Structure 1
Amino acid sequence: MKKIAIIGGGSWGSALAMVLADNGNDVTMYMRNSENASEINEYHANSRYLKDITLNSEIIATTNIADISECEIVVFAVPTQNIRTILTENSGVFNNQALFVNVAKGIEIGTNKRISEIFGEFFDVNRFVALSGPTHAEEVAIKMPTAIVAASLSNSAMSTVQDVFMNRDFRVYTNEDIIGVELGGATKNILALGLGIADGLGFGDNTKAAIMTRGMHEIARLGIALGGRPETFYGLTGMGDLIVTSTSMHSRNRRAGILIGQGHSIEETEKKVNMVVEGIKTCKAVKSLIEENDVEMPITEEIYNILFNDYSISDSVERLMERNKKREVLY
């Protein structure tokens, strides 16, 4: 048994708290919302995020971050853009031997840093593990078979995370390619937005298959340029995550794309989804990475133009379809 903290009271943090508590660990969830914390402690539920789900009764919730100061593992389940603030304000709170696990998927706007790079400014990066893959909290919470990847520069760290999280319903693989794992998880959210837009426009399976497969080429192209390994992008944290995020109504990025395709603004969309849509913010950071690294990513760029340059969706579709003739694969 290990003492484990979850920072964040949303759906994914709650589902992972269940996995860890079911595995016999001592789990404390830290969140700012006192009503959520009270509901977890009194009724073993987090109805705002996981409707009709009963949480493990051993899970404790707190609004006092000092309560997690002795935890051996700290899981960050908060939006990417909030991570630096939490670390800046609270880095002295954590156990000085703690292992940090991040489950958010994004790139920091302004710095274009992956989350492991942000953590590396505060702690030894060998104490950091990214846990990522094709996972919906709603399915993990009801113990549907799921596979995920733990990635780290430290074999010991990712093996520890594999041991702590893995059970008969939650299979954990390891992968030392942390660059590829983090980039795959972040960039697929942008394509999920694009696939949602296609749904919102009423396009069919042909269109979505084209976006998904050509988009995967774009993800791999950027990832390899930044030091990721090609095979990572065709595994669970690349193609696997893209499939699940692009095809399910559990996906907030897909739901957001559908609303945008139907003509809603970003502000209206985020209000209706009522959760952070990581792909919208990540798109800004990836656009900057495209320019810095001179990587060709036409689908991603058109999604950016629709979101932030007020481009007509129909014009973006036309530009993509009328690009110069290409070979599918360059050997």
Structure 2
Amino acid sequence: MRIGIIGAGSFGTALGFNLGKRDNQVVLWDRKQEIVDEINTLRTNARYTPDCLLEGDIRATTDLHEAASGKDFVLLAVPSHVVREMCEKVRKFLDKETIVISIAKGLDPQTHGRLSVTMEEIIENPVVILSGPSHAEEVAKSMPTTLVASSRNMAAAEKVQDLFFSDTIRVYTNDDLIGVEIGGAVKNIIALAAGILDGVGYGDNAKAALMTRGMTEIIRAGEAVGANRDTFYGLTGMGDLIVTCTSMHSRNRRAGILIGQGFTMDEAAEKIGMVVEGIKATKAFYELKEMMGIEMPITDQIYKVLFLGKDLKEAIKTLMLRDRKSE
């Protein structure tokens, strides 16, 4: 297969590594010439995937035309707030039958809509969302990983399933595109909150409660926009929530730890050095819940901590002292 990957960050490079070693032709695009040069000369991308030697037919470029034209698949390995921009830039290069895949987990900041909707408004190609509990650090080391391919075009989703399916990456399909996207986005908020609990110094009891009640918020948000409840008990809901709330690979959890230790939101994001999707998701889903009347108390308090300066322990006390209710 001929594959273009837009974004040579950690996940884009890790997936490129897995595809390249299986006799596919992979072109990685990145804005930064130094990253492109390192991939082409040393076969490494030390900043994002240290200790990973890129195998097979992989080359890098700063030319979007080279990365996107004449491809069977184009993978957008960019943050959620960049998906709209990249779709607008690559659409003129896409062949009619090219399947466009996105791995971003979030909402379009301009519309608060799902990313697949934004993509389909801009490009005419089949759009597939690839999600699931998957840290790039482990994908790059060929550790067993499961993913989910979802689309309004399930034939395209099955082609993506075939593309990535291997002895180290198992891919499922799911036709509940709404649920897959909402689960992947809201879990970043809960992971940020989990890190905050760690940073403050709270224990396992608090984190277990947060993850469980966080799942309730994910389901509420999803059902409000038409998702299937069962999706959230699968890989793109519960699976993704577990991995991002418990792993130090999770940049959302790591950013939360820093915030819990007293760093500001901006300071934490700067120290992480990569996009912290949970911060953007908190703002987007706070505004969405206000607009649609969805009960999301954790999201509400995280928003007030991040954007309104509320004291962390006061926010936690607010959650603990909410009205008594049956679970």
* Category of TM-score, reference length = shorter chain: over 0.9
Q: Distance in 2 between matches of 1:292 and 1:52?
A: 46
Q: Count the aligned residue pairs.
A: 326
CA–CA separation in structure 2 for the residues paired with 1:257 and 1:181: 24
**Per-residue deviation, residues 124-166 of structure 1 (Å, max 9, x unmatched):** 37x0000000001110111111111000111210000000110
Aligned partners of 1:44 and 1:57 also within 8 Å:
no
Partner of 1:316: 315
Flag structure 2 segments of 5+ consecutive residues without an equivalent. none
Distance 1:155 1:9 in 2: 27
What is the identity, as a one-letter code, of the residue corresponding to 2:212? Answer: T
What is the rounded CA distance, in whole Å, between the counterparts of 1:22 and 1:217 in structure 2?
Answer: 40
Report Cα offsets for 1:1-35 as digits up to 9, x if no partner. x1110000100000110121122211110111111
> In the aligned structure 1, how far is the partner of 2:240 from the partner of 2:124?
28
Partner of 2:184: 185
The residue aligned with 1:259 is: 258
Give the TM-score, by structure 1 length: 0.97
Query: Are the equivalent residues in 2 in contact too, given 1:184–1:238 (CA < 8 A)?
Result: yes
Deviation larger for 82-91 or 148-157: 82-91
Structure 1 equivalent of residue 163 of structure 2: 164
Runs of 4+ more than 3 Å apart: none
Give 2:300's aligned amino acid: E
Question: Are residue 136 (structure 1) and residue 140 (structure 2) matched?
Answer: no
Aligned-residue offset at 1:282: 1.2
Corresponding residue for residue 196 of structure 1 = 195
Post-superposition shift, 1:88? 2.1
CA distance in 1, matches of 2:182, 2:298: 16
Partner in structure 1 of residue 228 of structure 2? 229
Q: Which amino acid aligns with 1:88?
A: E
Distance 1:307 1:124 in 2: 37
1:23–1:164 Cα contact (<8 Å) kept: no
The one-letter code matched in structure 1 to 2:54 is: L
Which residue number corresponds to residue 209 of structure 2?
210
Tell me the CA shift for residue 277 of structure 1: 0.4
In 1, the alpha carbon distance for the partners of 2:85 and 2:172 equals: 30
Partner in structure 1 of residue 5 of structure 2: 6
State TM-score, norm by structure 2.
Answer: 0.98
**Structure 1 position 266, deviation (Å):** 1.3
Q: Amino acid of the residue matched to residue 73 of structure 1?
A: F
Amino acid in the other structure paired with 1:74:
V
Deviation for aligned residue 1:57 = 4.0
The alpha-carbon deviation at position 185 of structure 1 amounts to: 0.4
Distance 2:191 2:310 in 1: 18
Counterpart mapping for 1:19-38 below 5 A: 19-38=18-37
Question: Which aligned pairs between 1:63-142 and structure 2 lie closer than 5 A?
Answer: 63-68=62-67, 69-124=69-124, 127-142=126-141
Q: Is the 8 A contact 1:29 1:59 kept in 2?
A: yes
- 1:274-330 per-residue CA deviation (whole Å, 9 max, x = no partner) reads 0000110111111111012211010111011111111011110111000001111xx
Paired with 1:123 and 1:87, the residues of 2 have a C-alpha distance of: 7
Alignment of 1:150-161 (within 5 A): 150-161=149-160
Alignment root-mean-square deviation, CA: 1.0
State the secondary structure of the residue aligned to 2:212.
Answer: helix
For the 8 Å contact 1:23–1:165, the answer to whether it is kept is no
1:110 Cα deviation from its structure 2 partner: 3.0
Q: Percent identical across equivalent pairs?
A: 49
SS in 2 for 1:59: strand
